[in-house]
Structure 1
Amino acid sequence: MSNIDLFDEYTAAIFAELYEHFPLRRSIASEAIIGLALDPADPPPRVPHELRVYEATVEWLAGSGFIALSGNGHQGDATLTLRGLEVMKVVPASVRDHNSLGDSLVSAVRSGGAAAGKELVAFGLTQAFRLMGQGVL
């Protein structure tokens, strides 16, 4: 899988977990979200590529203001920020039942629909950047 595909998949899983439990903080430790854990005995060159992409995804989501982290960064707890919550409240035109992006994402992730989750993440981030450009977020 390409880095962007992994990013979209991991972002969908993180957003779904945080949206479903908002406003409570939830663990976004890699083993909780993608089933991979860092072995402290592994030197950096031996860290799996997927885990490095996951860590970079969490750092990017936090640095871009979509999630707030506490504890040990990507191994700690997180919650959606106002910006992240606003993105999850967007209703895609393609969703006939008019569920929010967050509700649709939770359903897609639960049903194993990785492709649908990736499309929803791409839509949500596009909307977020559009709103940020307009000074709304």
Structure 2
Amino acid sequence: MESAEFHRARKKLSKTQKEIAELLGTSIKAIHSYEQGWRSIPPHVERQMYFLLSRQRELHEKAPKPCWTVKKCPPSRKKKCPAWEFRAGKMCWFINGTICECQARKNWKEKMVVCKKCEVMSQLLV
């Protein structure tokens, strides 16, 4: 997540920098630094922002379809995927080890490259 995307997400959540700092359990200085691009946004903060956006989306919009429906995953792939195991198809991007594009990713950064291009998560970023 880049600084501009972080700023847009905070605005979309209708939160001040102070309010988002409290929600994320961090300092307002950290929020300033993220938005100014002085500090990289840690994976746990990025993940929490996406989580908050997903919850807001489900409150105000039609709930998204599970990822296995959107991606038309065959039963053999679904059985290996943690999103299927935990019935988290609307939040597959939140779970490490999902079998997106036919393989699990090694870390959060690699996973986000794939997830941000996916129609399941892309709705959060609009």
TM-score by length of 2: 0.36
Q: Return the TM-score normalized by structure 1.
A: 0.34
